[in-house]
Amino acid sequence: MCVEKSDWEKCVEFHGHSCPGLAVGYRAAKIGLQELAGHRAEDEELVAIVENDACGVDAVMVLTGCTLGKGNLLYRDHGKHVFTFICRESGKAVRVSVKGGAWRQNDEFRALRDKVFGGTADERERQLFRELQEQRIRYILEAPPEEFCEVQHVKVELPPKARIFNSVTCAFCGEPVSEVRARVRDGKFACIPCAGEYTRGW
pTM of the complete model = 0.85
Q: What is the pLDDT of residues 124-140, one digit of tens each?
A: 999 998 998 999 999 99
HSE of 10 in the Cβ direction (CA atoms, 13 Å)? Answer: 13
| Structural domains present in the chain | 7-154 (3.30.1330.130), 164-202 (3.30.60)
Q: What is the pLDDT of residues 58-76, one digit of tens each?
A: 999 999 999 999 999 999 9
